[in-house]
């Protein structure tokens, strides 16, 4: 026996095999099912699904980047081998202070394990803006700080509003 | 005669384990079964007790030999395995090149095995679209698409519907069915994905295998899960799937005697 | 054409029947006549057809009427006032039995075996249903599972609304209703008890159909889909009633040693009787496990409040207005039986009082709107509850002769016996044939005897003063933690039993010395036999008062469901349950893994969905392991209810084996024997335990 099929047994015991009882147990399961983005997108297309498409409410669905995102201007020096994400920026500024202190003792600087070279290199470009004319932190800042084309303006807001509308 | 392809758009879903255990289940029911490995990982043989250091297989000499049945290994009983074997990069590339461009490469090499009466061949493939899968799909009686009960696997479901696995209809004979692995009712995602898949695939879902450490432990012991833990929940589910496979293939289940496997020996 | 033939046949039979009834015979001829009729009966008994049963019924009625005619014309001569009073009393009791026999035959001669009417495929046509669960002072433990089971009923969510009607206005119930997502209704007063509660809820809800569940009646998921179809097909259908099935034993089943081998006391009513009623469109509402059409209820002004059995009265009122009713003989819900004998007595007293009230206040024999068959069916039910005095009369009749030497039947013993034999034999045989799977022979006597002394006053008082009588709710769900003998409830029985015992002994003594006493040994034999017969049944009734300890609050159900065992190591094994309750389960052990690997959860596998529950091990042996469920949140508990209690086939059992009157009598004798045997055993065990304690105390001193 695979699973206990009580509807079938009922039909057998009451000799009512001709009757077609509808099973609503999925109804209660549906209530407890989580509202998962991936599953929702695989459901047959309904109004609800098109609104719930995409990830978390707070993030907009990724859009094509603008031309300027990876553009190289003649003012910039050779870009660093390591690409730094905006997020560690505040960290590197803390570490920048640490590294400056450590740099004063080159022995200790050399003893710093491998992960830190990335940061050591970062501290250099970060300190540069103080001296150089080009602001590298600006160069790799998130796309939102760039002026967005008119079409894009509505997109994040739209999907955000729609997602709010579907929230219970 | 019957040929079953176990494939998946996703990796790490348990295709190889499923292939091996299905082979065991069908063999226990009385049929002669050959487990055929198309995956360079060469992991299928380990389920049948082949030592890790054993490098025998068919791919290394596939180009020069016309009959690959000479590379089949057996431990007695009615279960056989044709391992991928250890192959150098040039050998692997040559194999794939022949698969891609020579229409009869596969049928020639496997003709003895394909024509052996009553031998069920279950083939394991690497994930995603591969030349091997494409080549074998023309010949296969049945495809079993394996997925895990998570959203990573689920998200690839459209790929199968859009014929991205082979570029055409997956299976021309009995069609393709699905098997869902590692379903755990105690975990929300697993439960939801299982419910979704049951709902969406209906009859096309051949079976759901419960998550059960026994499977991993059986693999580690290089045994079939049936021998390792007869009470295993996953073993029950796999046996059920094997019965359905046998039904679809029209294979008459044997007298039910179990053939034990002592040591492995070369053919 | 066929009707005409039947009428002609009946007309032709009338003079024959008259002859059979009236012709006087001497005892020898009567014996032969009786034996011939019994012989004929046995011959006919080979055929199981219902038409043969009809013929048998006619025969039985003829023989019984013959007996009554004999009694009326030949035996009512008395020598003194006291004999007259007692003799007439006995005769009236026999008239009562004869009327009841006739009515009962009419009621059950052709039971209607209804089929489920399917609902249409198009669910938009399905009617809306309100589910009422009235409660007053029952504990939340009992009501909780009822509400959860109601939520498991397979019906479109937007068409079914569940309401908890709380006359106790308890906060925890309100919180529970909110947690679980059902309606909660209270009212300002508690007038008219349950009926008033239901009427109040009717004002606040709108469903086309109303379903009522007592607070301990857990429904199966198939309940509505099995009952609602009829309402769509027949617009005049007002009521579909389903059986009250009990998943816990009633006092008879629990306290008597043979209790579990006999059909439950309610099976006769919720089987042949209601099916018979159904044939004549006289099914009545039983207060729970039924679906009623709102418009029909509104037409009669809501649930009836004039009597304490508001359910039967409601159905009567609806039928008077031409509404139809139906009975579906499939257990679709189950509840708790009365736990103790004293509670059973209280419940039946209320029913007896209520039916008597209806008899007085809304007599079915009078008034418009009912067919003759409906009137007779209701009359049968109402007259049944007047059994107290007649039963006592039969019980004590032999004492008149044995103790006081009074002759209350003026006839020779052999003649009386000759007339009575076919009368009794045929009635027992035919009842066994028709209802043998639902009620074993002679057990009705015991059920009635247990109640007889308690019902005398209530029924008589209510017959004369129908407006008197408080509604006392039957207690549900209290646990009996220690066994005891309820002397209080069987005091009158004990008194009569002792008297009967003395009488029998006195009779035997007199029989041995009959020359000295100058009495007819056959008269003594008859009276002693009758006295013994009464004594046996009385003792069996007394045995029911031996309350046994109720060991668990949740009821265990034997069922085999596939189950996964999840161990702490991540291994999952597959096995099956041996039994299951809301508190735990027992599983067949697939191997020895549990000795080293802790079991964390088990997963019950139903076709409609699986449920995982954390568990703790209680006990284990070589074959089985018993597990206890940990606390689980309400939503999971609902799934557990779905598996344990709300399974569609949960309460459908095969009927008990066919009755055999001789075997039934032997079973009853065994009950009586076990009463003495068990009492002696417990006394001996108690004495031993007491002696042990005494020794310990002495040792400590």
Give the tens place of pLDDT for each residue, C234-287: 999 999 999 999 988 899 998 888 888 899 999 999 999 999 999 999 998 999
Question: How far is residue B79 from each of residues B7, B26, B49, C414, C445, measured CA to CA in Å?
Answer: 21, 9, 12, 87, 71
For C454-463, the pLDDT digits (tens) are: 999 889 999 9
Superfamily of domain B3-253 in CATH is P-loop containing nucleotide triphosphate hydrolases (3.40.50.300)
Per-residue pLDDT band at C427 (split at 50, 70, 90)? very high
pLDDT band at C51 (very low <50, low <70, confident <90, very high): confident
Residues A73 and A51 in one domain: no
User: Which 3 state secondary structure label does DSSP give C603?
Assistant: strand
Residue C448, pLDDT > 80, answer yes
The answer to whether residue C167 is catalytic is: yes
A·C CB contacts under 8 A? 80
| Residue A57 is assigned to a structural domain of this protein | yes
- A79 with A139, same domain? yes
Task: Mark whether A31 and A80 lie in a shared domain.
Answer: no
Q: At what angle do helices B233-249 and B213-220 cross, to 10 degrees?
A: 80
Q: Is the pLDDT of residue C687 over 60?
A: yes
pLDDT surpassing 50 at residue B152: yes
Report pLDDT for A148.
43
Structural domains in chain A (count): 2
The closest of C212, C390, C363, C179 to C302, measured between CA atoms, is C212
Residues whose CB falls within 8 Å of the CB of residue C701, separated by 6 or more in sequence, listed in order: none
ipTM of the complex: 0.89
A73 shares a domain with A98: yes
Q: What is the pLDDT of residues C218-230, one digit of tens each?
A: 999 999 999 999 9
Token pair listed for C68? 């009554």
Same domain, A73 and A130: yes
What pLDDT does A90 receive?
47
**Range A129-133 contact pairs with CB under 8 angstroms and sequence separation of 24 or more:** A133/A75
Q: Where are the beta strands (DSSP E) in C497-653?
A: 546-547, 557-558, 562-567, 572-580, 584-588, 599-606, 609-620, 624-629
β-bridge partners, C385:
none
Residue C573 clears pLDDT 90, i.e. is over it? yes
Mean pLDDT value across chain C: 90
How large a percentage of chain C has pLDDT more than 70?
Answer: 96
Residue from C312, C147, C173 nearest C239 by CA: C312
The answer to whether C362 is a known catalytic residue is: no
Cα gap C605→C589, rounded to integer Å:
17
pLDDT reported for residue A130? 46
Residue A113 pLDDT > 50: no
Domain definitions of chain B by residue range: 3-253
State the nearest Cα–Cα gap between C571 and chain B, in angstroms: 4
Which one from C145, C166, C250, C311 is the annotated catalytic residue?
C311
Mark whether A48 and A97 lie in a shared domain.
no
B240 to chain A nearest CA, in Å?
A: 8
Residue with tokens 């999952």: C572
Asked if B193 and A39 come within 8 Å (Cβ–Cβ), the reply is yes
- Choice among B199-203, C16-20, C376-380 with the minimum mean pLDDT: C16-20
Question: CB contact, 8 Å: C13 with chain A?
Answer: no
Contact (CB<8Å) B192/A26: no
pLDDT tens-digit readout, C599-617? 999 999 988 888 999 999 9
- What are the C-alpha distances in Å from B119 to residues A7, B79, B143, C550? 40, 10, 17, 62
Secondary structure letter of residue C596 according to DSSP: T
Selected catalytic residue, list C130, C167, C362, C659: C167
**Domain of residue A38, residue span:** 6-62
**pLDDT for residue C600:** 96
- The region that residue C193 occupies, defined by phi over 0 for left and psi between -120 and 50 for alpha, beta otherwise, is left
CA distances from C110 to B165, B259, C106, C315 (A): 67, 62, 8, 21
Q: Please indicate, yes or no, if residue A165 is contained in any of the structural domains.
A: no
| Dist. CA C144–CA C146, nearest whole Å | 5
pTM (2 decimals)? 0.81
Looking at residue C553, what is its pLDDT? 62
Whether residues A122 and A88 fall in one domain: yes
**Mind listing the pLDDT tens digit for each residue in A41-86?**
887 765 454 555 555 556 677 777 787 777 777 655 555 555 444 4
| Shared-domain flag, residues A140 and A85 | yes
Q: Smallest CA–CA separation between B260 and chain C, in Å?
A: 20
pLDDT at B169 over 60: yes
């Amino acid at each position: 026996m695979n699973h206990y099929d009580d509807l079938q047994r009922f039909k057998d015991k009451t000799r009512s095999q001709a009757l077609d009882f509808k099973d609503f147990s999925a109804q209660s399961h549906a209530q407890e099912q989580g509202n998962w983005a991936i599953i929702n997108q695989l459901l047959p297309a309904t109004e609800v699904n098109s609104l719930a498409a995409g990830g978390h409410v707070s993030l907009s669905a990724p859009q094509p980047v603008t031309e300027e995102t990876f553009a190289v201007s003649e003012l910039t020096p050779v870009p660093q081998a390591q690409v730094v994400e905006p997020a560690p920026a505040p960290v590197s500024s803390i570490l920048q202070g640490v590294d400056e202190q450590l740099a004063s003792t080159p022995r200790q600087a050399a003893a710093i394990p491998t992960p830190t070279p990335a940061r050591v290199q970062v501290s250099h470009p970060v300190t540069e803006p103080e001296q150089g004319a080009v602001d590298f932190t600006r160069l790799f800042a998130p796309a939102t700080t760039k002026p967005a084309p008119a079409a894009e303006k509505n997109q994040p807001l739209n999907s955000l509003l729609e997602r709010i509308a579907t929230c219970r | 005669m019957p040929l079953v392809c176990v494939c998946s758009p996703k990796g790490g879903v348990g295709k190889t384990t499923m292939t091996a255990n299905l082979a065991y289940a069908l063999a226990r029911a009385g049929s002669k079964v050959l487990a055929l490995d198309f995956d360079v990982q060469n992991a299928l043989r380990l389920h049948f007790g082949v030592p890790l250091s054993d490098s025998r297989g068919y791919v290394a000499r596939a180009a020069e030999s016309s009959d690959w049945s000479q590379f089949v290994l057996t431990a007695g009983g009615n279960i056989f395995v044709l391992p991928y074997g250890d192959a150098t990069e040039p050998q692997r590339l040559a194999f794939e090149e022949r698969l891609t461009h020579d229409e009869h490469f596969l049928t020639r090499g496997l003709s003895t095995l394909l024509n052996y009466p009553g031998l069920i061949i279950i083939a394991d493939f690497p994930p995603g679209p591969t030349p091997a899968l494409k080549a074998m799909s023309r010949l296969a009686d049945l495809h079993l698409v394996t997925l895990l009960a998570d959203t990573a696997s689920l998200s690839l479901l459209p790929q199968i519907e859009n014929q991205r696995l082979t570029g055409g209809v997956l299976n021309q004979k009995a069609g393709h069915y699905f098997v869902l692995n590692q379903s755990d009712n105690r975990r929300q995602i697993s439960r939801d994905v299982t419910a979704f898949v049951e709902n969406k695939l209906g009859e096309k879902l051949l079976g759901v295998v419960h998550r059960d450490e026994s499977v991993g432990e059986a693999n580690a012991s290089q045994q079939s899960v049936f021998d390792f833990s007869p009470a295993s929940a996953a073993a029950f589910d796999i046996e059920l799937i094997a019965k359905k496979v046998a039904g679809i293939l029209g294979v008459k289940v044997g007298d039910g005697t179990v053939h034990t496997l002592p040591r492995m020996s070369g053919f | 054409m066929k009707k005409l033939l039947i009428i002609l046949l009946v007309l032709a039979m009338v003079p024959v029947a008259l002859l059979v009834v009236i012709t006087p015979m001497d005892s020898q001829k009567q014996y032969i006549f009786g034996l011939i009729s019994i012989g004929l009966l046995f011959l006919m008994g080979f055929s199981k057809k219902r038409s043969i049963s009809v013929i048998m019924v006619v025969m039985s009625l003829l023989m019984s009427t013959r007996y009554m005619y004999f009694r009326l014309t030949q035996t009512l001569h008395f020598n003194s006032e006291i004999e007259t009073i007692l003799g007439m009393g006995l005769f009236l009791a026999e008239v009562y039995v004869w009327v009841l026999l006739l009515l009962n035959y009419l009621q059950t001669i052709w039971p209607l075996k209804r089929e489920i009417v399917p609902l249409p495929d198009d669910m938009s046509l399905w009617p809306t249903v309100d589910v009422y669960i009235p409660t007053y002072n029952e504990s939340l433990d009992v009501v909780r599972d009822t509400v959860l089971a109601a939520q498991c009923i397979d019906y479109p969510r937007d068409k079914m609304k569940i309401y908890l009607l709380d006359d106790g206005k308890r906060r925890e119930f309100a919180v529970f209703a909110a947690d679980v997502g059902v309606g909660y209704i209270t009212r300002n007063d508690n007038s008219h008890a349950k009926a008033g509660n239901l009427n109040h809820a009717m004002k606040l809800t709108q469903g086309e159909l109303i379903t009522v569940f007592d607070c301990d009646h857990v429904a199966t998921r198939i309940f509505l889909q099995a009952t609602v179809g009829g309402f769509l097909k027949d617009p005049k259908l007002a009521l579909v009633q389903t059986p009250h099935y009990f998943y816990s034993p009633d006092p008879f089943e629990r306290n008597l040693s043979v209790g579990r081998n006999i059909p439950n006391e309610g099976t006769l009513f919720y089987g042949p009787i209601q099916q018979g009623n159904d044939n004549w469109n006289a099914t009545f509402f039983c207060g729970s496990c039924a679906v009623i059409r709102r418009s029909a209820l509104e037409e009669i002004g809501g649930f009836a409040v004039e009597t304490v059995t508001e359910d039967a009265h409601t159905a009567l009122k609806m039928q008077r207005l031409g509404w139809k009713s139906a009975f579906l003989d499939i257990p679709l819900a189950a509840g708790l039986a009365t736990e103790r004998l004293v509670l059973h007595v209280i419940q039946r007293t209320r029913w007896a009082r209520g039916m008597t009230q209806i008899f007085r206040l809304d007599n079915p024999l009078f008034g418009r709107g009912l067919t003759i068959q409906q009137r007779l069916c209701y009359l049968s039910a109402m007259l049944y509850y007047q059994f107290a005095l007649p039963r006592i009369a039969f019980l004590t009749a032999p004492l008149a002769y044995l103790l006081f030497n009074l002759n209350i039947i003026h006839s020779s013993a052999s003649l009386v016996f000759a007339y009575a034999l076919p009368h009794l034999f045929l009635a027992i045989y035919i009842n066994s044939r028709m209802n043998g799977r639902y009620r074993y022979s002679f057990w009705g006597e015991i059920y009635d005897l247990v109640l007889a002394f308690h019902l005398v006053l209530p029924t008589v008082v209510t017959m004369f003063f129908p407006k008197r009588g408080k509604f006392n709710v039957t207690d549900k769900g209290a646990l009996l933690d220690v066994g005891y003998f309820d002397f209080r409830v069987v005091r009158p029985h004990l008194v009569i039993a002792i008297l009967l015992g003395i009488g029998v002994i006195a009779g035997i003594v007199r029989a041995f010395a009959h020359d000295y006493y100058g009495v007819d040994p056959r008269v003594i034999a008859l009276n002693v036999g009758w006295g013994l017969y009464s004594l046996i049944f009385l003792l069996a009734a007394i045995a029911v008062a031996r309350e046994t300890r109720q060991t668990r609050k949740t009821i265990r159900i034997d069922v085999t469901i596939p189950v996964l065992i999840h161990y702490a190591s991540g291994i999952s094994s597959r096995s099956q349950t041996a039994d299951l309750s809301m508190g735990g389960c027992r599983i067949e052990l697939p191997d020895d893994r549990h000795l080293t690997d802790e079991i964390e959860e088990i997963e019950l596998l139903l076709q409609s969905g699986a449920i995982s529950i954390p568990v703790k091990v209680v006990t284990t042996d070589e074959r089985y392991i018993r597990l206890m469920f940990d606390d689980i949140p309400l939503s999971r508990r609902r799934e557990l209810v779905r598996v344990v209690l709300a399974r569609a086939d949960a309460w459908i059992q095969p009927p008990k084996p066919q009755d055999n009157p001789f075997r039934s009598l032997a079973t009853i004798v065994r009950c009586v024997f076990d009463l003495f045997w068990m009492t002696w055993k417990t006394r001996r065990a108690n004495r031993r335990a007491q002696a042990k304690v005494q020794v310990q105390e002495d040792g400590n001193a």
